Amino acid sequence: MNVISVFKKKIDQRYKYLVEDIIKNYLFDLYPDFPKNFDLANRKDPDNYEEAKPLYDDLCTAFFNTASIAKLGLKTVISEPYHKQPILSVDGGRDLILSSDYIGPSVYWAQKVGMPDETIIEFLKVSRTLGGHIVFPAYRSITMNQARSGKNGYYDRFDKTLYAMKQLFNGDEISNQWVQKAWENYTNWFDLFRREGHPFETFVHFFKLESFVNDAYEVYDLTTFDDHGSYTDTVTDDQAEIPEEAAGYARYVRGSLHAIALRNQELGLS
């Protein structure tokens, strides 16, 4: 049995409760007759597609209740349309607009290492649940979503992104100029998490990202997820790197799915 077959079997076993339609999936729910008429290469984008309002509504409900936004000094965060696409509008204006970002494994990079479409669809059944999404500010020059993608970013790796954000929250330098620029474009958002001190920890708790960090708030290296269900190392730099072989990327995918599944539990979805 090759590494991809073993990987698919592990998804089926470990995350069975997620892939049996118990938890809402924001990609496949766009296809009422899924898997009929679903084409991975031409799939809709549940982060930006105009029918994606359920995702934005659920992100708003999960993270922006009255008590939580009060901690940030905000009055309202509302899910509403903007140029035919859903957004989260902050305090009724357009100075700060939040947009959904997918934090799960990349379909593109999975295909690059030879992962078959069937297996990619299986991991999307887990990663495209609510736990696989976050929001970042948008509509003002380069965004965090844009900056962290591809070889000029972090190949869409959320562990690298989270580590870079920790560095920036702590006033430390990072190597990636695009992510640095995206951060500077939206300091009005990120500074909201400084109100109570310990901004990175505040950000982690606000968005229920505890499954991505250890007790010391060191970010887990998702590529080090082992067969015992544990991460063996943490991220120590923000260099752009990604496993280029099937086995290595499969470990990254499994590490991502593990963190996302635990996050779903924190969100009360399982």
Q: How far is residue 43's CA from residue 31's CA, in Å, rounded to a whole number?
A: 10
pLDDT reported for residue 14: 61
pLDDT reported for residue 218: 98
Q: Which of 50, 111, 98 is nearest to 207 (CA)?
A: 98
pLDDT reported for residue 9: 58
Tens-binned pLDDT, residue by residue, of the chain (270 aa): 444 555 555 555 565 545 455 689 999 999 999 999 999 999 988 877 677 889 999 999 999 999 999 999 999 999 998 887 889 999 987 789 999 999 999 999 999 999 999 999 999 999 999 999 999 999 888 999 999 999 999 999 999 999 999 999 999 999 999 999 999 999 999 999 999 889 999 999 999 999 999 999 999 999 999 999 999 999 999 999 999 999 999 999 999 999 999 999 999 996
Backbone angles phi, psi at 137, to 5 degrees: -65, 150
Say which DSSP state 234 is in.
B
pLDDT reported for residue 39: 95
